[in-house]
Structure 1
Amino acid sequence: MQLSAQEVKAALPWQDLVEALRDIFTRKVTSPVRHHHVLNVPQEKDAMLLLMPAWLEGEYCGVKQVFVFPSNNDKGLPGLTSNYLLSSGKTGANLAQLEGNELTSRRTAAASALASSYLSRQDASRLLMVGSGRMARNLIAAHRSVRSITHVSVYNRNLAGAEKLVEDLIEAGITAKVCRPDELAQEAANADIISCATMSKEPIIKGDWLNPGCHLDLVGGFTPEMQEADNAALKKAKVFVDTRAGALSEAGDIIIPLKAGVIQKEDIQAEFTELCSNAHKGRNAYPDAEKIITVFKSVGDSREDLAAAILAYQSLSK
């Protein structure tokens, strides 16, 4: 079975994918550290091979293969190519090959929705989306699958990108508006959920803007130098992560305030394994649940890829 990007999208509806992720973080999954290999490309920039394996013993084995070829940008070609191979955990037989970019984008958005199901207020209705690319589109859809979002504001440094996304949202029947730079502070203050999907190295969202009850979802930064929210935002919030190991080694939104002494490792309240097993009750764990500010920082985990691949395979094998 070989699935194109469009077929992967169709096989992973949001609510089913969120529940698949919720389940995988309660299972005993082996997920080794991601492998990095530098590839020499003659007369061009070095490329990178990333391998991300995970398996459920006796059930399924999976590995995501990602090639990053920086020089492709000069040729008008995609710089990143990704595929996911799902195999039997009993025989090793190949079960499915899935286009990896769509798989990654959807499971990442679904992880934010999963976190929101524990951390945002149940009556959350106003979403501020920071970013306007494919990840932003998926995040809006994923958040709307777990909360009754009635209004979406879109901020992007490239105004044309925000305008196009808002146009598409309105066409789909969603109340939406462009958030201009001089409106960002007020839109952040009005938002119940703020979701960020940028590659910024300078904080965009400031803690001073966040009002009680807000949930801040940080998705874009994936290196120790990237930071979408300032240190003040982390200091005034209850902080949650997908995995502590990933957040403490890769997430600038966590690492930078840690190094500055603004937060401590102990300030990370819980990770997905604790939330999904009900070892931590998320927002409901606090007596002032309606007033606390929550932050979720994700860096991605191979268990999420495995859960998405299994869901797609099982749904198409019925």
Structure 2
Amino acid sequence: MHQPVQIDSTFIENHTDFNELIRLLQEAFAANSVIVPQRHHHDFPNPATTKDTTLLLMPAWNPGFEAGVKVVTVNPGNNQFELPAIQGSYLYMDAKTGVLKAIMEAKNLTAKRTAAASALASSMLSRPETKSMLMIGTGALSINLIKAHASVRPIEEVFVWGRNPAKATIICDQLKTEKFKTLPVNTIKEVISKVDLVSCATLSEQPLVLGADVVPGQHIDLVGAYKPNMRESDDGLLRRASIFLDVMEGGLKESGDIAIPLQEGLITKEDIKADLFDLCANKHSGRTDSTEITLFKSVGHALEDLIAAKYYYSKYN
């Protein structure tokens, strides 16, 4: 009987070429042949922690080729076990036979595909001469986002801000061997108006990227704030920016960055210019001029997981 291979976080880390992964995502969004059912979301009691555990199932199916499902649990009480709250695996299958081909570590796979999707959007929305970047947030995504963005634009200087300054310094130290310079900063405001690109990946419920601080020509990449009550941008930014999403359906309701302004009537669905499906299929041209402020809001999509899983499986074999 066929035994699935095990692909761990270290393998994923050591076998990522962002240019390759970005190209594969672009092809998949353009083709739009992957069937992605609605994400399953289930809450279950957890007597050990007295806090509910959430089970998330994210399937994707490319008929006749590959299929997969990401299985994730969110356990708010895991700190008492000294474990991360989010645990997960990706099950990669042959769509013709249903045979399970691989079990992959999901956290790093998700980080890589998320960063690659943001960089894919940047390749169509940021100015080609983009040379400087502000990274807001110091979590697992930050280094991936910096590297991915630098793979599609000639980044020379990266500023890093986090609520914990020590973490920002650690991020910069880990990127010392890269072709760009990295510098930790004490405040967002001191550099945000001086950079070409702003990437934000936090769990903030209060806006961090303000419309009053951004300048013409910038590209804003919003990756965090994944719940309807979370926001990384304020109303002022939404008023000034051309808004793009990774996927239309999820992007309109899953994050407060878009859902709250929609509910309050600040923007309408028609104000959303395009998503990655339209951009990659050349149904929308992306940035229109050098002074436009572009905003990309990402909530994640199971298509990205499947393409990343296929990519790492091909590297393994």
TM range (shorter): over 0.9
> Is the CA contact (8 Å cut-off) linking 1:12 and 1:308 kept in structure 2?
no
Identify unmatched segments of 5+ residues in structure 1. none
Instruction: Letter of the 2:259 partner, please give it.
Output: I
Which deviations, in whole Å up to 9, do the C-alpha atoms of 1:23-79 show, x marking residues without a partner?
111231110011012222224222111100001000011000001222211121121
2:239 pairs with 1:235: yes
2:201 pairs with 1:205: no
Which deviations, in whole Å up to 9, do the C-alpha atoms of 1:241-287 show, x marking residues without a partner?
0011111110111112222322211110000110010111111xx2x
Give the CA deviation at 1:171: 4.7
Which deviations, in whole Å up to 9, do the C-alpha atoms of 1:120-177 show, x marking residues without a partner?
0000000000011211111000000100100001111111111211222235453121
Instruction: Letter of the 2:10 partner, please give it.
Output: Q
Counterpart residue number, 2:110: 104
Q: For 1:163, which of 160, 164, 169 is the aligned residue?
A: 169
Runs of 4+ deviating beyond 4 Å: none
Percent of aligned positions that are identical: 42
2:298 pairs with 1:291: no
Give the CA deviation at 1:12: 2.9
> Is the CA contact (8 Å cut-off) linking 2:156 and 2:179 kept in structure 1?
no
Counterpart residue number, 1:146: 152
Name the count of aligned residue pairs. Answer: 311
> Is the CA contact (8 Å cut-off) linking 1:120 and 1:214 kept in structure 2?
yes
1:69-218 counterparts in 2 under 5 A?
A: 69-172=75-178, 174-181=180-187, 184-218=188-222
Which deviations, in whole Å up to 9, do the C-alpha atoms of 1:227-247 show, x marking residues without a partner?
011111111010000011111
Q: Distance in 1 between matches of 2:40 and 2:203?
A: 22
> Is the CA contact (8 Å cut-off) linking 1:11 and 1:312 kept in structure 2?
yes
Q: Distance in 2 between matches of 1:250 and 1:180?
A: 30
Q: Distance in 2 between matches of 1:167 and 1:61?
A: 38
Instruction: Give the secondary structure class of the aligned counterpart of 1:315.
Output: helix
Give the CA deviation at 1:296: 0.1
TM-score under structure 1 normalisation?
0.95
2:312 pairs with 1:315: no
Instruction: Give the secondary structure class of the aligned counterpart of 2:310.
Output: helix
Deviates more, 1:111-120 or 1:251-260: 251-260
Instruction: Letter of the 1:297 partner, please give it.
Output: K
2:214 pairs with 1:224: no
Instruction: Letter of the 1:103 partner, please give it.
Output: L
> Is the CA contact (8 Å cut-off) linking 1:189 and 1:209 kept in structure 2?
yes
Counterpart residue number, 1:246: 250
Give the CA deviation at 1:208: 1.0
Instruction: Give the secondary structure class of the aligned counterpart of 1:208.
Output: coil
Q: For 2:272, which of 268, 271, 277 is the aligned residue?
A: 268
Instruction: Give the secondary structure class of the aligned counterpart of 1:49.
Output: strand
2:302 pairs with 1:302: yes
Q: Distance in 1 between matches of 2:82 and 2:66?
A: 37
Instruction: Letter of the 2:227 partner, please give it.
Output: T
Q: Distance in 1 between matches of 2:281 and 2:107?
A: 29
Counterpart residue number, 1:68: 74
> Is the CA contact (8 Å cut-off) linking 2:22 and 2:119 kept in structure 1?
yes
Deviates more, 1:155-164 or 1:197-206: 155-164
TM-score under structure 2 normalisation?
0.95
Q: Distance in 1 between matches of 2:170 and 2:14?
A: 23
Instruction: Give the secondary structure class of the aligned counterpart of 2:77.
Output: helix
Instruction: Give the secondary structure class of the aligned counterpart of 2:253.
Output: helix
Q: Distance in 2 between matches of 1:236 and 1:40?
A: 44
Q: For 2:9, which of 5, 10, 14 is the aligned residue?
A: 5
1:48-59 counterparts in 2 under 5 A?
A: 48-59=54-65
Q: Distance in 1 between matches of 2:190 and 2:293?
A: 17
Q: For 2:25, which of 6, 21, 24 is the aligned residue?
A: 21
Instruction: Give the secondary structure class of the aligned counterpart of 2:111.
Output: helix
Counterpart residue number, 1:36: 41
Instruction: Give the secondary structure class of the aligned counterpart of 1:211.
Output: coil
Instruction: Give the secondary structure class of the aligned counterpart of 1:209.
Output: coil
Q: Distance in 1 between matches of 2:73 and 2:174?
A: 31
Q: Distance in 2 between matches of 1:303 and 1:70?
A: 27
Instruction: Letter of the 1:223 partner, please give it.
Output: K
Identify unmatched segments of 5+ residues in structure 2. none
